[in-house]
Structure 1
Amino acid sequence: MQIKAKEMHLWWCRVNHQHHPEMMAERLLSDEERARFKRLHAAGKRAEFLMSRVLARTALSHYLNIPPEEVNFKRTPLGKPSLDPPCHIEFNLSNTSKLAVCIISASGPVGIDIEPLGRGGEIMEIADIFFSGTEREELATLDPRSQPERALSLWTLKEAFLKAKGLGIYSEAEKIAFLYRGTGRPGLAASPDIEPMPERWHFKNIDFMDHRIALAATTPFQASSVRFVALKPPVAMPAASEQPSIL
């Protein structure tokens, strides 16, 4: 499977709790991934972990022309996964209890986050912890009914960017800010130790299957640059997905 320059493929699948997880884990996961899988006791968390790894391995195998079980990963000290050995393909993962997503690019670093559309109110409750002062000030200027919607966008954008950089939201969230300044489009402001050239980054929010997805990349998003590819677990060829709503 080919991916063009300035094109991104967003693979997705449902987190299915009904498949035979032990069999799938034995077939597709590495020894280290199987050990992590077995340490998870809650059935929901096991399904989320398994399906996100199955999705990533299956998706990447299409570009590397190898079986999914032969895809090798390494992790940074903060846990960001990458291909081992490195190649021209960059990817990033995210999941909820319902969906797993994997963004793939051949044009530089990418980050992705996904959250349920209804989570905005919960995020508002922790805005003082994770949002910068300027973000909170801008948020306060909105109609209270619009604030959860904006909070959801801010949270997913921050997560996607920090994941693309290989950083953690719990330690670095207040060092970056996404400001709209009345334009309807978020712009990144960042501490120089986090990102000395924030203008090189590009962002997109997409609403898809009752979730909000945020993408961060150093490649500009064109009108048709994000191609959705659906995966039916455990392993299947790509299929057309439903049309997402681009924000």
Structure 2
Amino acid sequence: MQVGPLGRPELRGALSISVSVSHARGWILAAIAKRARIGVDIEVVTAVFDQASLVRRACNGVEVDAIAAAPPGERRALVADLWTQKEAALKAHGRGLRDDPRKVHEDATNIIRLRHGITGLSACCVILPAGENATADLRS
């Protein structure tokens, strides 16, 4: 493994293989894809996802409206899901949080959503384009 010019992990000598890694509080999410770009993010769903400042910084108008319309008990998980999807997409595009997350709109066919409700985890894998031999795994 090595770090690419924009901070993305790369497999040394394997240019057709895309790698993405994320970790949160003892959990790790890693994915590899052949002939596709891949990005993953995992987050523990905590009160940080209740913060209005995060919603303003990360969500576009349609998403803000959807969050406001959601039942109060579901908003935190919805914001976490949107965040993990956006961060995974930005990683797949190779830019990470250098780009504005409010501008991220991924086709649902490119998204693999992973959920582990018992521990309150939100995780997402985005594949651009949906490549063959792509996999994601959630482990503690």
What TM bracket, shorter-length normalisation?
0.7 to 0.9
1:219 aligned to which of 109, 117, 130 = 130
Please, which runs of 5 or more residues in structure 1 have no aligned partner? 1-71, 178-187, 189-198, 231-240, 242-247
Residue 89 of structure 1 aligns with an amino acid whose one-letter code is I
* SS in structure 2 of the partner of residue 110 of structure 1: strand
Write out aligned runs for 1:126-145 (5 A): 126-145=54-73
The number of residue pairs the alignment matches comes to 134
CA distance in 1: counterparts of 2:136 and 2:63, whole angstroms: 31
Give 2:43's aligned residue: 115
Taking a change above 3 Å as real, the CA distance of residues 168 and 220 of structure 1, as seen in their structure-2 partners, is closer
* SS in structure 1 of the partner of residue 72 of structure 2: coil
* SS in structure 2 of the partner of residue 136 of structure 1: helix
CA distance in 2: counterparts of 1:92 and 1:227, whole angstroms: 9
What's the offset of the Cα at 1:85? Answer: 2.5
Give 2:9's aligned residue: 81
Give 1:165's aligned residue: 93
Taking a change above 3 Å as real, the CA distance of residues 176 and 227 of structure 1, as seen in their structure-2 partners, is closer
Give 2:112's aligned residue: 204
What is the aligned-residue identity percentage? Answer: 20
Once the two structures are superposed, residues 11-64 of structure 1 have per-residue CA deviations (whole angstroms, 9 ceiling, x without a partner) of xxxxxxxxxxxxxxxxxxxxxxxxxxxxxxxxxxxxxxxxxxxxxxxxxxxxxx
Taking a change above 3 Å as real, the CA distance of residues 99 and 227 of structure 1, as seen in their structure-2 partners, is closer
* SS in structure 2 of the partner of residue 84 of structure 1: coil
2:19 aligned to which of 76, 85, 91 = 91
Larger RCO (alpha carbons 8 Å, 6+ apart)? 2
The structure with more strand, counted as a fraction of residues: 2
Q: What is the TM-score with the length of structure 1 in the denominator?
A: 0.48
Once the two structures are superposed, residues 122-164 of structure 1 have per-residue CA deviations (whole angstroms, 9 ceiling, x without a partner) of 1230211211122101211111111111111000000100011
- Aligned-pair RMSD on alpha carbons? 2.7
Larger Rg: 1
85-94 or 106-115: bigger deviation: 85-94
Residue 124 of structure 1 aligns with an amino acid whose one-letter code is D
Contact map agreement 1:158 1:169 (CA 8 A) in 2: no
Taking a change above 3 Å as real, the CA distance of residues 227 and 169 of structure 1, as seen in their structure-2 partners, is closer
Taking a change above 3 Å as real, the CA distance of residues 143 and 215 of structure 1, as seen in their structure-2 partners, is same
Contact map agreement 2:49 2:80 (CA 8 A) in 1: yes
